[in-house]
Structure 1
Amino acid sequence: MHSPVRVVAVIPARAGSKGIPGKNLTPVAGRSLVARAVHAAVAAELVDAVYVSTDGAAIAAAAVQAGAETIERPAALSGDEASSEAALLHALDTLAERGVRPEVLLFMQATSPFVDPADLDAAVSRVLSGGADVVFAATASHAFLWRVAPDGTAAAVNHDATVRPRRQDRAAEYRETGAFYALRADGFRAAGHRFYGRIELAEVDPRGAIDIDDPADLVAAEAVAPLLDVSLQADPLLDDAVAIDVDAVVTDFDGVHTDDRATVSTDGTESVVVNRRDGMGVRLLREAGVPLLILSTETNPVVAARAAKLRVDVLHGIDDKAAALRAWSETTGIPLDRVAYLGNDVNDLGALGAVGWPIAVADAHPAVLAAARHVLARRGGDGAVRELADLVLTQRNGAS
């Protein structure tokens, strides 16, 4: 390394999750949880390097795409019983082997989607200055807590049930959010636990103090994301996520132009439902002179029929999409790095990896979400093609 690495952010992100399968790759407002954590760490001025510790190839790919480096976590530290501390100690050992020995370890959890980089810098600064050994994210609470005994009776936990003071007369308590912990690295190694020495808390915005543990938490996160996320236009980390500068657009069909469902009649004929907004998006691209191609493994004639209706080229019944895409690129003379490909499932991975702009619909397979350079806000069949068209045309109109 050319300069000392004083502060390292480590984001443990296991592939396994029982509550929400593929949780760390689950998108909130178009960005996966692991990407959100990486983006926050990268944006912090005091963080010198960002690492994601994982046992999952798809998570590792998403981490690298977001701007992090990776640490391969062994199977022994990847089960449900493995502690975060064990993963962090393994990460420090791995980094030491690479010649990286940080002064401060910033432990971040991908399950907290709304982390302010300024909060990270403030916490790290307090540890670097020697004022604290540990600084962790917390939010104030004035809640009256109760515990239920085995016999069903309730008992007060943090208050006297016979006394009901006003909120302003009751000292605040603080709930650990789990979002981040700034730790003096040598002290953490000696203690083997995230809490040791002088412990202080960093009070964070309670609106974003959401820890994604179950589907209800995801619903809450999606609801507050428009309020808490920096606008895409103003966020330098996401500028390229909306400035999709390409010369051609290629899309899958099922799960992109449709919601991936089909109806089957008694004679075996299949039919699908498409979205008129997508049709308008295709029309706008075509009128702007942007070449389009529908590339599908599906052999059903409905694919060709829809392409004819949209007046775009189509290749369907294709088993090797990447090879077909390369051949199309050579025929048209459009370089693949100037192509956006929109997909939704694992059979799109080859094509996604071949182009400069791999794009995923919001409800894509986790591996596709990980491979995408940008994840759309809309699901397949729900205006995703129109959304991509708007992004491409916005860039073209802005550049003209």
Structure 2
Amino acid sequence: MKNYLVLIPARAGSQRLPGKNMRQLGDNPLVGHSIAYALKNDLSDIVVTSNDAAVLDFATQNEVQIIERPDTLAGHEELVVTAIKHALSQLQKKYDVVILLQPTSPLRPKGLLKEAIAIFEREDCDSLMTVSRNEHKLGTISNNRFTPYNYKMGQRSQDLEPLYYENGLLYIFKTELVKQSILLGENNFPLVVDHPFAEIDIDTEADFKKAELYLNFYKDNY
């Protein structure tokens, strides 16, 4: 089995929901859900990378290794791959594979991570991402005119061609990709997740309220 690292990036400075990574959701702050999820899946090599003192303190209290991220790598336009590259460069131990758990997707179905790792090993892929089926009728607007994109007017929703979106629940990728400043390789496996938790991606207060409802309603699946 390959050598896995769980990496949780949790920068400070959210513009739409200040302090969101330490915002309490149920019994844990957002960043704590990702830490707990890794521990539930028997993964002990866990690193939190952040420029937020509160996040780093919380991770330390939970006996998780921390990497203090420079503010220059934590701007709202900074790509997450730069934080990952920095974190890997600071670790003495070398890893074959990174599992990326983003705090903004705090709710993940039971068994998903073990299933993802098993597929990653079996398929011998460069990377794996979780996706979900899009059920919406999409279109474009130009000159106040709506043009269907993935359907024809009058077509039933159940007859739409299957399209999928990146839900952000988790990513798995070889560390050699990070050296190329990419996370998803050409041999990338899309793991389809059909679960309401895939709808949760917290950027706003409304997103957070939705996560609270889902956590309470689907607590047996968490």
> For residues 247-262 of structure 1, what are the structure 2 equivalents within 5 Å?
none
Indicate if the aligned counterparts of 2:105 and 2:202 stay in contact, CA closer than 8 A.
yes
For residues 169-318 of structure 1, the aligned pairs below 5 Å read 169-186=159-176, 188-209=177-198, 210-230=200-220
Question: Given the superposition, is the C-alpha separation of residues 137 and 66 from structure 1 closer, same or farther in structure 2, using an over 3 Å criterion?
Answer: farther
Among residues 104, 125, 133, which one is paired with 1:132 in the alignment? Answer: 125
Question: Quick one: which of 57, 60, 66 aligns to 2:56?
Answer: 60
* Deviation string, structure 1 residues 300-355 (Cα, Å, up to 9, x no partner): xxxxxxxxxxxxxxxxxxxxxxxxxxxxxxxxxxxxxxxxxxxxxxxxxxxxxxxx
Instruction: Report the equivalent of 1:70.
Output: 66
Maintained 8 Å contact 1:127/1:184? no
Moved over 6 A (4+): none
Task: For 2:218 and 2:194, locate their aligned partners in 1 and report how far apart those are by CA, in whole Å.
Answer: 10
Whole-angstrom CA distance in 2 between matches of 1:20 and 1:162: 38
Shift of 1:63: 1.9
How many aligned residue pairs are there?
221
Instruction: Give structure 1 stretches of 5+ with no counterpart.
Output: 236-400
Does residue 36 (structure 1) correspond to residue 26 (structure 2)? The answer is: no
- Report how far residue 62 of structure 1 moved: 1.6
CA distance in 2, matches of 1:66, 1:52: 11
- Cα distance in 1 for partners of 2:162, 2:71 equals 41
Separation (CA, whole Å) in 2 of partners of 1:37 and 1:205:
20
Of 97, 108, 123, the residue aligned with 2:116 is 123
Residue 79 of structure 1 aligns with an amino acid whose one-letter code is G
Deviates most, 169-178 or 11-20: 169-178
Instruction: State the partner residue of 1:17.
Output: 14
Q: 1:8 to 1:117 in 2, by over 3 A?
A: farther
CA contact (8 A) 1:39 1:67 kept: no
Are 1:155 and 2:155 an aligned pair?
no
Query: Quick one: distance in 2 between partners of 1:227 and 1:147?
Result: 35
Range that drifts further, 125-134 or 202-211? 125-134
For CA contacts below 8 A with separation 6 or more, give which structure has more relative contact order.
2
RMSD of the TM alignment (CA)? 2.2
Displacement of 1:12 in angstroms is 0.6
For the Cα contact (< 8 Å) 2:130–2:168, is it kept in 1? Answer: yes
Alignment of 1:27 onto 2:19 = no
Deviation at 1:141?
Answer: 1.9
What is the distance in 1 between the residues matched to 2:202 and 2:103? 9
How far did residue 80 of structure 1 move?
1.3
Q: Return the offset for 1:126.
A: 2.3
- What is the TM-score of this pair, normalised by structure 1? 0.52
Offset of 1:184 from its aligned partner? Answer: 1.6
Query: Given that residues 137 and 201 in structure 1 are in contact (C-alpha distance below 8 angstroms), is that contact kept between their aligned partners in structure 2?
Result: yes
Contact 2:132–2:192 (Cα < 8 Å) also in 1:
yes
Partner Cα distance (1:226, 1:104) in 2: 33
What is the 5 A alignment of 1:298-377?
Answer: none
- How far 1:35 moved relative to its partner? 0.2
Please identify the structure whose Cα radius of gyration is greater.
1
CA distance in 2: counterparts of 1:117 and 1:9, whole angstroms: 17
How far apart, in 1, do the equivalents of 2:191 and 2:60 lie? Answer: 28
* Contact 1:5–1:101 under 8 Å retained in 2: no
Q: Is the 8 A contact 1:8 1:104 kept in 2?
A: yes
Question: Contact 1:13–1:24 (CA<8 Å) still a contact in 2?
Answer: yes
Once residues 201 and 121 of structure 1 are traced to their aligned partners in structure 2, the CA distance between those partners, rounded to angstroms, is: 15
Q: How much has 1:61 moved relative to structure 2?
A: 1.3
Confirm or deny: 8 A CA contact 2:109 2:197 kept in the other structure: no
Deviation, structure 1 residue 125 = 2.4
Measure, in 2, the Cα distance between the counterparts of 1:110 and 1:174. 22
CA–CA distance in structure 1, aligned partners of residues 118 and 94 of structure 2:
18
Letter matched to residue 14 of structure 1: R
Q: Which amino acid aligns with 1:111?
A: T
Higher strand share: 2
CA distance in 2 between partners of 1:101 and 1:5 (Å):
11
CA distance in 2, matches of 1:18, 1:213: 9
Determine what percentage of the aligned residue pairs are the same residue: 26
